[in-house]
């Protein structure tokens, strides 16, 4: 599936090919901190499919709890998380942040991992009042 991504301010835009069956949720504490919320939703894209259309992301390298070094790409103007990738692999894949994709409504998560770090309240939001807008 072809996807189009952009940061919140529009300074960075990109496109890629993804498999909707590969969308996942990560509950690790790094993802909670990097997203500013309870978990991260992402989908992998092969390196050869990622095309930067506009702008240049800033890169922050972090060593994850798993020991893997991950390059986190984000907009230097608005801070929108865009993707992450490995540092050591010669032809990496990119893990796109679903929230930055125009097609996010077509990319429901298929699995969850690092659940030992999950916030207890994150799995059951059905009982909360719902509003179409504020």
Q: Distance between CA atoms of 11 and 2, rounded to whole angstroms?
A: 20
Contact (CB, 8 A) for 15 and 96: no
Q: What is the mean pLDDT of residues 64-86?
A: 92
Give the strand pairing for 111-113 and 24-26: parallel
Kindly give, in sequence order, each residue whose CB lies less than 8 Å from that of residue 62, ignoring residues fewer than 6 positions away. 30, 34, 69, 70, 72
Q: What is the mean pLDDT of residues 4-13?
A: 98
Higher confidence at residue 67 or residue 31?
Answer: 31
- What's the confidence (pLDDT) of residue 75? 98
Q: What tens digit of pLDDT does each residue of 117-126 get?
A: 999 898 888 8
């Amino acid at each position: 599936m072809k996807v189009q991504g952009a940061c919140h301010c529009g300074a960075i835009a990109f496109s890629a090919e993804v498999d909707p069956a590969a969308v996942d949720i990560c509950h690790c504490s790094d993802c909670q901190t990097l997203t500013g919320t309870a978990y991260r939703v992402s989908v992998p894209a092969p390196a050869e499919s990622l095309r930067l259309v506009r702008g240049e992301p800033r890169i922050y390298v972090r060593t994850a709890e798993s020991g893997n070094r991950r390059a986190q790409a984000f907009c230097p103007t608005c801070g929108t998380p865009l993707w992450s990738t490995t540092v050591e692999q010669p032809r990496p894949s990119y893990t796109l942040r679903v929230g930055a994709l125009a097609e996010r409504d077509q990319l429901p998560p298929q699995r969850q991992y690092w659940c030992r770090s999950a916030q207890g309240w994150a799995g059951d939001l059905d009982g909360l009042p719902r509003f179409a807008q504020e």
